[in-house]
Chains A and B, each alone.
Chain A
Amino acid sequence: MKKQVIQLTGSLFLVFAVMLALVAAPRTAGAEQSGVPLPVLSKAIKGEQCVEPANVMRREHMNYLTHQRDETLREGIRGKKYSLQQCTECHATAAPEIEEGKVRTLQPFCTQCHEYAAVKLDCFACHNPTLPLDKSSRILNTPNHDTSALQQMIVSHLNEGVAAAPGDVNYQKEISQ
């Protein structure tokens, strides 16, 4: 009786493993070209360094902005370093889908990651993220459908403990080029 149960469990496991392999196989094969597009962010127009290192900004920008907006509006403290206006100054890019690319706007820079992370962004319902187009404006990069970038990112994160995220220079691909 006990032997039969073991045999049955064994064969069930085998069937399950085969099914899993069948289901998983096409996905693995197509992994290079499918998946959610990775955000590929344009380099900032001004400066080489954000107000904090990029990995800190990725994690903490919302806290910095929320904290400082309260200080500015309620206490009248102006000119501190985390401001949405300053984000716009450096990170606004021209995007063909927004006013035919005739302005540079912060929206594409923000929405790429926010869409990827499925986080609703409502700053721009009230805050105007556009600036007039000037010579220094860059064109927005297209999202990266290549999941190998994500794999590389995870591997480097595991190896070094630091994520080489899509925003970093290695993954930059400018349309204009």
Chain B
Amino acid sequence: MSGTSEFTPSRRALLTGAGALAGITIASGVTLISVTPAHSASGPATSKNRWGLLIDSGKCDAGCDECVVACRTEQGWQGHDRPQSDPQWIRKVNLKDNKTGAAHSLPVMCQHCENPPCVDVCPTGASMKRADGIVLVDKHTCIGCRYCMMACPYKARSFVHEDTTGQKPHMPRGKGTVESCTLCVHRIDKGGIPACVEACTEKAGRGAMMFGDLNDPDSAIAKELSKRVTTRLRADLGLVPGVHYQGL
């Protein structure tokens, strides 16, 4: 059900190589099969990767919302001064222990679960998980029933109630569909990092967010996770989120 692709990079490389061989030259100047001009395609995403985040609430500050601003700018979502229904892909949550007075602040977005309940309940298959663990909404097939919004324990998804204009080319948005954090999949596919992580380091200068491949033991995030004790939100639900928090 996870839609894991068997099309691994090595097999892909082999097929690409075979494609190159298809244009065999029989004699000088005579080509057996003409090779179509190359469109440099990347992908597909494979289960070799498992993208995730590590968020250090100790470095996060209640007064800072650079990650939210960056997400809004990158993906082109904005509010209409209706907090009950406005889209919210990422939000800052402030926590306080009333007995000790200790306060935390942390960003909460789609947790990109390994066992996403939003995918389980979707009646059309629009809510889906990519092979590399990124949970997305296929808005082409989303009928706007909002069952996934009810199923998500993190309130990570939003419904688009208003007509949309000025969408970013990489992020089509439309009235009547559900949307949520895509982990900036358009950047990841080009080898980049999510906009919120970039803003936390570069604009806010806090470095409270770290992005990387949880499956790669040599990645910075995997090394950090092996050293620190981290929490996954509502770990008791067994959803195995890809977002880890430290200091909760």
Contacts and interface: CB of A to CB of B under 8 A. Distances in A.
Interface string A70-81: 110111111111
Nearest to B39: A81
A79 B41 contact: yes
Contacts of A125: 174-175
A74 B40 contact: no
A88 B172 CA distance: 14
A85 B185 contact: no
Contacts of B128: 74
Contact of B173 (A79, A88, A126): A126
A102 B59 CA distance: 45
Nearest to A82: B39
A127 interface: yes
A128 interface: yes
Interface centre among B128, B131, B174 (most CB of A within 10 A): B174
Contact of B177 (A74, A88, A126, A128): A126
Contacts of A69: 140
B198 interface: no
Given A74-B3, A74-B128, A78-B42, A128 B167 contact: yes
Interface of A: 69-71, 73-81, 85, 88, 125-128
Q: Which 5 A-B pairs have the closest CB atoms?
A: A126-B174, A76-B45, A77-B43, A126-B172, A75-B44
